[in-house]
Structure 1
Amino acid sequence: MNAVLIAVLIMLILSLSKVHVVLALAIGALVGGLVGGLGFEHTMATFNEGLGGGASVALSYALLGAFAVAVARTGLPDVMVKFVLRLVGTKNDSRKAALSKALIFFLLTIVACCSQNAVPIHIAFIPILIPPILQILNELGVDRRAIATILTFGLTAPYIFLPYGFGAIFHGIIADNMNENQLTIALSDVPTAMLLPTIGLVIGLLIAVLFTYRKKRTYENKPVIGASETNEDYTKRSVISAAAAIFITLIVQTVFESMIAAALSGLIVLFATRSLKWKEADGVVTEGMKMMAFIGFVMLTASGFAAVIRETGHVDLLVTQATNMIGDNRAAAALLMLIIGLFITMGIGSSFATIPIIATLFVPLGVAAGFSPLAIIALIGTAGALGDAGAPASDSTLGPTAGLNADGQHNHIWDTCVPTFLHFNIPLLLFGWLAAMML
Structure 2
Amino acid sequence: MEWVVVVSVLVMTILSLLRVNVIIAIITAGLVAGLMSGLSIVDSIDMLVNGMGGQANTALSYILLGAFAVAISYTGITSILVNYLIRVLSGKKTMMVLAIAGVASLSQNLVPVHIAFIPILIPPLLKLFDQMRLDRRAVATALTFGLKAPYIMIPAGFGLIFHQTIADGMNQNGATISMSEVALSMLIPGSGMIVGLLFAVFISYRKDRVAIEGAGGTDATITTDVEKVSFNKTHALTILAIIGALIIQIIFENLIFGALTGLFLMFLFLVVPFKLGDKIVSDGIKMMGFIAFVMLVASGFGNVLKETGAVNALVEVSSGFLGDNKVVISFVLLLVGLLVTIGIGSSFGTIPIIAALYVPICIAAGFSPLATAALIGTAGALGDAGSPASDSTLGPTSGLNADGKHHHIWDTVVPTFIHYNIPLFLFGWIASIVL
TM-score interval w.r.t. the shorter chain?
0.7 to 0.9
Residue in 2 that maps onto 1:208 = 200
Cα pair 1:64 1:260 within 8 Å, conserved: no
User: Bigger CA drift: 288-297 or 154-163?
Assistant: 288-297
Do the aligned residues in 2 keep the contact of 1:58 with 1:297 (CA within 8 Å)? yes
Alignment of 1:292-371 (within 5 A): 292-371=288-367
Q: 1:263 to 1:409 in 2, by over 3 A?
A: farther
Corresponding residue for residue 12 of structure 1: 13
Equivalent AA in structure 1 for residue 34 of structure 2: G
- Which of residues 75, 79, 99 in structure 2 aligns to 1:107? 99
Deviation at 1:339, TM superposition (A): 0.5
Judged with a 3 Å threshold, the aligned counterparts in structure 2 of structure 1 residues 293 and 179 are, in CA distance, closer, same or farther, namely closer
8 Å CA contact 2:237, 2:269 repeated in 1: no
Residue by residue, what CA displacement relative to the aligned partner does 1:7-66 show, whole Å, maximum 9, x if unpaired? 211111111111111000000001101112232222111111122333443344344445
Change in CA separation of 1:213 and 1:181 when aligned onto 2, cut-off 3 Å: same
- 1:196 alignment counterpart: 188
Alignment of 1:244-323 (within 5 A): 244-245=237-238, 247-249=240-242, 251-256=244-249, 257-259=254-256, 262=259, 265-266=262-263, 269=266, 273=270, 278=275, 285-323=281-319
Which entry has the higher C-alpha Rg, 1 or 2? 1
Aligned residues between the structures: 426
Which is further off, 11-20 or 41-50? 41-50
In 1, Cα distance between equivalents of 2:15 and 2:26: 9
How many Å apart are 1:132 and its aligned residue? Answer: 2.8
Q: Secondary structure at the match of 1:183?
A: coil
TM-score (norm 1): 0.85
Q: Is the 8 A contact 2:8 2:30 kept in 1?
A: yes
How far does the alpha carbon of each residue in 1:296-329 deviate from its partner, in whole angstroms, 9 at most, with x for none?
A: 2211211211111111111111111001222233
TM superposition shift of 1:209: 0.7
Quick check: 261-270 or 427-436, which moved more? 261-270
Q: What do the CA deviations read for 1:401-424 (whole angstroms, capped 9, x no partner)?
A: 222222322222111111111001
Distance of aligned partners of 1:338 and 1:73 in 2 relative to their CA distance in 1, 3 Å threshold: same
One-letter amino acid matched to 2:353: I
Q: Tell me which amino acid in the other structure corresponds to 1:142.
A: L
RMSD: 3.2
Q: CA deviation at 1:291?
A: 3.3
Q: Does 1:142 align with 2:134?
A: yes
Deviates more, 1:188-197 or 1:61-70: 61-70
Distance 1:116 1:63, change over 3 A: closer
- Which stretch of structure 1 is more off in the superposition, 146-155 or 325-334? 325-334
The equivalent residue for 2:31 is 30
Please list every run of 5 or more consecutive structure 1 residues that lacks an aligned counterpart in the other structure: 90-96
2:157 pairs with 1:157: no
Letter of the 1:306 counterpart: G
- The question of whether the paired residues in 2 share the 8 Å contact of 1:138 and 1:220 is answered with no
Given residue 201 of structure 2, which amino acid in structure 1 is its aligned partner?
V
Q: Say which of 179, 184, 197 aligns to 1:187.
A: 179
Taking the aligned partners of 1:295 and 1:327, their CA distance within structure 2 comes to 41
> What is the CA deviation profile of residues 154-175 of structure 1, one whole-angstrom value per residue up to 9, with x for unaligned ones?
2222222222332232222222
**Distance of 2:430 and 2:334 partners within structure 1:** 11
Cα distance per residue 1:125-145 (max 9 Å; x no partner): 323322333333333222221
Matches of 2:103 and 2:224, distance apart in 1:
25
Q: Percent identity?
A: 49
